């Protein structure tokens, strides 16, 4: 079994919200957590929300401090995720590289400053 | 799921089975003014916390809110009308007794439920609630037009997707028509009050808890909007209900 690092960004919280304030982390670096475990509590202008973990894994890094304002799409947390050894590896069995497989969808958070 | 419980008012609710079935009293979650089950409780991590503790969760959208019908007359929102809905829901689901957990207006209704149907309530939690007049100084003929704390709350919730400002205004007037009085008190129903240290709408929560021989948990640094999602709150409730 190998490990891959994967970074999770602040998801779109709906209602046209563009940022949220981190109230309290529900995990710490080193924690092994399951998918949907409470990850972080954030406050928007509309409400307070607990964001569940999108994946099972070990927490490697938290990218925001408590009370910090984080824009939607900014890095939130990095996990080390266990990858099964017998799953297809990119390049070996001709799997489409991840970068190309992702839909080229970008959300503009702020108008260009220049 | 929906149920037609009282007259023409249809109520939407969720009934989430316990993750590990056990013979526990279900938990009835009552959201606050201008929100709904999903926003007040689900998004704040409650079904998962309670489900993880082996508890079944019943989560209505109160009349005038969320996916439930939104009548426009003030009388539809008298507290006793909400209580009628809740007892109708318990009857519909053949649930004898619940633990009720409220937030803000939902806490006021949890108190009423414990008062009027103490045989149907085992324990009650009042979150974000104190014996203060939430509508103080507000002109409820035109809520949102003034600058009182309630006007500010009204403006915030009136623009939330799916809300009907006219129904919410009627709801405010219906609730205000029966001001909260701390007497008489629910008999035989242990109470827990939980509030953010900076929640002005919960002023006096500690005194109310003391008068009712209940417990009070204060969440440091939190206000009315941010106490509901605090881990401390969820944990205090799980301990109170499962302990």
- List, for residues B146-185, the tens digit of each pLDDT value: 999 899 999 999 989 899 999 999 999 999 999 999 999 9
Q: Answer yes or no: is pLDDT of A100 > 50.
A: no
Q: What pLDDT, on the 0 to 100 scale, is given for residue B21?
A: 63
Give Cα separations from B50 to A112, B46, B58, B233, B239 (angstroms): 44, 6, 11, 12, 10
**Which residues, other chains included, contact A55 with Cβ-Cβ below 8 Å and sequence gap of 6+?**
A6, A8, A35, A79, A81
Using the beta-carbon criterion (under 8 Å), do A47 and B43 form an inter-chain contact? Answer: yes
Structure tokens at B238: 């799980």
For the stretch B13-27, pLDDT in tens is 999 998 666 678 999
Q: What pLDDT, on the 0 to 100 scale, is given for residue A89?
A: 54
The C-alpha atoms of residue B87 and residue B102 are separated, in whole angstroms, by 15
- Does B45 contact chain A (CB < 8 Å)? yes
- Average pLDDT over chain B reads 94
Query: Which residue of A lies nearest to B41 if distances are taken between CA atoms?
Result: A49
B48, B161, B229 ranked by CB distance to A48: nearest: B229
| Nearest by Cα to B57 from B37, B28, B35 | B28
Q: Rounded to 10 degrees, what is the CA torsion of B42, B45, B51, B55?
A: -80
Chain A / chain B CB contacts < 8 angstroms: 46
Report the CATH number at residue B137. Answer: 3.40.50.1820
- Does A67 contact chain B (CB < 8 Å)? no
Q: What pLDDT, on the 0 to 100 scale, is given for residue A99?
A: 46
pLDDT band at A107; cut points 50, 70, 90: very low
Query: Phi and psi at residue B39, in whole multiples of 5°?
Result: -75, -45
The C-alpha atoms of residue B30 and residue A108 are separated, in whole angstroms, by 37
Q: What pLDDT, on the 0 to 100 scale, is given for residue B186?
A: 94
- Number of structural domains, chain B? 1
Q: What pLDDT, on the 0 to 100 scale, is given for residue A3?
A: 84
Taking residues A70-97, report their average pLDDT: 74
Using the beta-carbon criterion (under 8 Å), do B43 and A49 form an inter-chain contact? Answer: yes
- Residues B172 and B32: beta-carbon distance below 8 Å: no
Q: Rounded to 10 degrees, what is the CA torsion of B101, B178, B176, B234?
A: -10
- Does B175 contact chain A (CB < 8 Å)? no
- Does A46 contact chain B (CB < 8 Å)? yes
pLDDT band at A30; cut points 50, 70, 90: very high
Residues of A in contact with B225 (CB under 8 A): 43, 47-48
Using the beta-carbon criterion (under 8 Å), do B231 and A38 form an inter-chain contact? Answer: yes
Residues of A in contact with B48 (CB under 8 A): 36, 38, 52
Its domain, for residue B33, covers 2-242
Give Cα separations from A114 to A109, B21, B214 (angstroms): 14, 59, 59
Low-confidence ranges of chain B (pLDDT < 50): none
Q: What pLDDT, on the 0 to 100 scale, is given for residue A2?
A: 83
A14, A24, A49 ranked by CB distance to B44: nearest: A49
| A97 or A17, greater pLDDT | A17
Q: What pLDDT, on the 0 to 100 scale, is given for residue B147?
A: 94
| Nearest by Cα to A9 from A48, A45, A42 | A42
């Amino acid at each position: 079994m190998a490990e891959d690092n994967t970074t999770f960004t602040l998801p779109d919280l709906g209602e046209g919200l563009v940022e949220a304030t981190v109230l309290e982390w529900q995990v710490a670096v080193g924690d092994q957590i399951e998918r949907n475990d409470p990850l972080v509590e954030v406050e928007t202008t509309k409400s307070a929300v607990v964001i569940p973990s999108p994946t099972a894994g070990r927490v490697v890094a938290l990218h925001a401090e408590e009370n910090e304002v984080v824009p939607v799409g900014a890095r939130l947390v990095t996990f080390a995720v266990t990858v099964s050894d017998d799953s297809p590896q990119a390049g070996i069995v001709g799997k489409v590289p991840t970068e190309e497989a992702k839909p080229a969808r970008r959300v503009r958070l702020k108008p260009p400053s220049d | 799921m929906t149920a037609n419980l009282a007259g023409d008012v249809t109520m939407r609710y969720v009934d989430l089975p316990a993750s590990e079935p056990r013979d526990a009293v279900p938990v009835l979650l009552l959201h606050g003014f201008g929100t709904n089950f999903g926003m007040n409780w689900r998004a704040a991590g409650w079904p998962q916390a309670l489900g993880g503790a082996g508890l079944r969760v019943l989560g209505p959208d109160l009349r005038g809110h969320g996916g439930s019908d939104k009548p426009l007359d003030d009388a539809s929102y008298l507290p006793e009308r909400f209580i009628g809905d809740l007892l109708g829901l318990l009857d519909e689901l053949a649930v004898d007794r619940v633990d009720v957990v409220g937030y803000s207006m939902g806490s006021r209704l949890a108190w009423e439920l414990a008062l009027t149907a103490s045989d149907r309530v085992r324990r009650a939690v009042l979150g974000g609630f104190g014996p203060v007049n939430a509508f103080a100084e507000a002109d409820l003929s035109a809520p949102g037009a003034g600058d009182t704390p309630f006007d500010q709350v009204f403006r915030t919730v009136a623009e939330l997707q799916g809300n009907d400002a006219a129904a919410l205004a009627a709801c405010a007037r219906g609730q205000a028509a029966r001001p909260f009085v701390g007497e008489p008190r629910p008999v035989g129903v242990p109470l827990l009050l939980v509030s953010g240290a900076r929640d002005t709408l919960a002023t006096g929560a500690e005194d109310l808890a003391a008068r009712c021989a209940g417990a009070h948990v204060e969440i440091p640094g939190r206000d009315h909007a941010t106490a509901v999602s605090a881990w401390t709150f969820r944990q205090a409730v799980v301990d109170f209900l499962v302990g």
